[in-house]
């Protein structure tokens, strides 16, 4: 029962206007992705470039989805981010 309450509180807290990413933060994130080595996949570079607040929330959601299996969660995150077009990625960041 506690887990369900926590998730509901967490979701409601992340939807406040103060948590929406600004255009400047999105631009910084996109530049971080560009600066990283192409030795890594696009999804991994995007994941590493996320601001810490967004990364923590994304990690929590991925871990809950995979029942706390870290390797599956990481693979799901990389695959999700890699399959987004640049416009979809920017739109996703705006909501993060």
Domain boundaries along the sequence of the chain = 20-95
pLDDT of residue 9: 41
C-alpha to C-alpha distance for 31 and 63, rounded to whole angstroms: 27
Q: Is 69 helix (H, G, I), strand (E, B) or coil?
A: coil
Q: What is the pLDDT of residues 7-30, one digit of tens each?
A: 444 444 444 455 678 999 999 999
**Cut 0.85: pTM above it:** no
C-alpha to C-alpha distance for 85 and 64, rounded to whole angstroms: 25
C-alpha to C-alpha distance for 89 and 56, rounded to whole angstroms: 17
Helices then strands, counting H and E runs in the chain, come out as 6, 0
What is the mean predicted confidence (pLDDT) over 31-50?
96
> CB–CB of 50/31 below 8 Å?
no
């Amino acid at each position: 029962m506690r887990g369900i309450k926590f998730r509901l509180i967490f979701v409601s807290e992340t939807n406040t206007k103060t948590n929406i990413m600004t255009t400047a933060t999105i631009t910084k994130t996109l530049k971080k992705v560009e600066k990283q080595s192409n030795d890594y996949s696009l999804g991994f570079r995007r994941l590493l470039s996320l601001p810490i607040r967004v990364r923590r929330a994304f990690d929590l959601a991925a871990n809950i989805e995979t029942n706390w299996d870290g390797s599956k969660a990481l693979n799901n995150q990389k695959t999700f981010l890699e399959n987004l077009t640049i416009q979809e990625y920017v739109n996703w960041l705006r909501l993060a």
